[in-house]
Amino acid sequence: MTLAFLEEQLEGYTDSELADHIVSSPRCESTSRVFHLSSNLIAKHYKPLELEDALKATEVASQLGIRGPCVRRTIKDQHNTYMIMDRIEGTTLDVTWKDLGWFMTVKLALQLRRFVKTLRSVTSPTAGSLATGECRSFWLEDRYVPVTIEPFVLTHHDLAPRNLLVSPSGQLSLLDWDLAGFYPVNFEYASMYNFNIPEDWGLMARLRWHLFVWIGVGYYETGARLLQIMRGSVRLDMAPGYGSDGQRGKVEISSKPYVSMHNAIKTLTFHLKAPATVETIIDTINSKGRDKYKFTAEWEECRFWIGKATWDAVSFYWRSPNGYEPREVKQGTFY
């Protein structure tokens, strides 16, 4: 039986002991990665490289005088890594926004403006996260492909209402620095609209959010729309083995903002000749008789199917996606 966690012994626990306390703690309602370790501490689960980047970004933000999480300890237990942080008293804007007044909206926006101005004073000749250099931006498809837009400024990259916390005294704190890094200046603006607007936000709440964003990070609507178009492309995922004979597969066609199906083998990227939607891709597949396909025994021919199925919709496709060595594309059969 695991003994009760004692905050005053935080530094005395081994990583393994702390991991046991963390996984036995209640999880946060909004995300299963966060655990309520005690009344004053929370713990968040990370992949090892993600932890490295998040820790560095959190430390840099603190050094710049930006209110946010205070890291108390990081631990590694087998394949799991955790960051233990102080709880910050207050409420996130996703909870309080619809009831906020105009005066408080402007007050918080001015605080955000000061934070963002400080962040943007830190620049880099290359894009990417602070520790590993990986581009974790959800606006980018290839994580290590250099971005050609400059300048690159330090960017929080996820200033959605859930990551903006207001204390009882009206002080703003920025949470969740997981995606922070050096990116083009318009990424912060675009990322502040990267959430589903709650249904209970009325017209005034929406207008106040637009004002909050404009004051806090500036106005970059043109650049944001281009990013949305880039991110709004069509994604095709294929996983074999769904047929009763084990040689037929399941295909998922979705707009890119949606998460890939959990057991997709690989994802391919295409340069489109014209704007494509899920509907137009499906129409192309059906009109060309590509809707029925049988794998070879090796299950290696997903790319062949996609290349054939969407030939009229794409001008080029990579036989060797990022991270894979070039090899001959195996061919299944259409029936």
pLDDT for residue 70 is more than 90: yes
pLDDT, greater one: 229 or 73: 73
pLDDT, greater one: 317 or 27: 27
Q: What's the pLDDT at 160?
A: 93
Residue 38 — very low, low, confident or very high, per pLDDT cuts 50/70/90? very high
Please give the mean pLDDT across all residues of the chain: 77
Lowest mean pLDDT among 9-18, 24-33, 98-107, 203-212: 24-33
pLDDT for residue 162 is more than 80: yes
Q: What's the pLDDT at 260?
A: 41
One CATH from 3.40.50.1000, 3.30.559.10, 3.40.630.10, 3.30.200.20 for 7-86: 3.30.200.20
Question: pLDDT tens digits, residue range 99-154?
Answer: 999 999 999 999 999 999 999 999 998 888 999 888 766 555 443 344 455 679 99
Lowest mean pLDDT among 43-57, 113-127, 185-199, 289-303: 289-303
CATH node for 91-228: 1.10.510
Contacts of 264 (CB under 8 A, 6+ apart): 237, 238, 239, 252
Q: What's the pLDDT at 81?
A: 93
Q: What mean pLDDT comes out for the span 33-54?
A: 92
pTM score, two decimals?
A: 0.67
Whole-angstrom distance, CA of residue 106 vs CA of residue 112: 10
Whole-angstrom distance, CA of residue 63 vs CA of residue 321: 39
Q: What's the pLDDT at 207?
A: 95
Question: pLDDT tens digits, residue range 241-293?
Answer: 555 555 555 666 665 544 444 444 444 444 444 555 666 667 766 776 666 65
Q: What's the pLDDT at 77?
A: 84
Q: What's the pLDDT at 220?
A: 80
Question: pLDDT tens digits, residue range 286-324?
Answer: 776 666 656 555 544 555 555 555 544 443 333 444 444
pLDDT, greater one: 327 or 184: 184
pLDDT for residue 226 is more than 90: no
- Percent of the chain whose pLDDT exceeds 90: 45
Q: Indicate the domain borders of the chain.
A: 7-86, 91-228, 234-326
